[in-house]
Amino acid sequence: MTDVLTGKEDVQRILAYAESVAKESRKALTAEFNEKHKGIPYNKTAKLLQDSLVAWFRRRDKNLKITPEATSSDKLGQVRTVFAGESKSVRFKVRADAMFTLSGASDESPSYLKQMNVSIDKA
């Protein structure tokens, strides 16, 4: 017979699953950006990153819902997007940090994804 998970164990299981999906999304989105979005203007990267991550999660697992909350770019070439995530009754934050190489010094310079990290935090 299988044991019923306690509430705390179930939350940990869901968060661990969300973390593994986040790592998978990082790999998939890095490949997508390097294939489809090379040289896009830097000022369009934050919105594209946000839309791509929401769409990827939706395709990957309909039970993991993420909703955009905030986007920031403190430094030229660095973008952070934050999402509210939920699965069953477990809430969490998804953070995507991306670094882009720019071939100019302006906001509209062509950009290329250099590095991306997607992580899960307890809400």
The tokens for 40 are 């896009």
Residue 2 lies in a domain: no
What six digits make up the tokens of 98?
């991306």
Give yes or no for residue 5 having a pLDDT over 70: no
In whole angstroms, give the CA distance from residue 44 to residue 53.
14
Residue showing tokens 């593994």: 20
Does residue 1 belong to any structural domain of this protein? no
Q: Domains in the chain: how many in total?
A: 1
pTM above 0.85, yes or no: yes
Q: Rounded mean pLDDT of 100-121?
A: 93
Q: Is pLDDT above 50 for 1?
A: no
pLDDT of 15 higher than 90: yes
Range of the domain at 53: 7-122
Per-residue pLDDT band at 19 (split at 50, 70, 90): very high
Residue 80 lies in a domain: yes
Residue 71 lies in a domain: yes
Q: Within a domain: residue 27?
A: yes
What is each CA distance from 19 to 5, 104, 113, 115, 121, in whole angstroms?
19, 35, 22, 18, 9
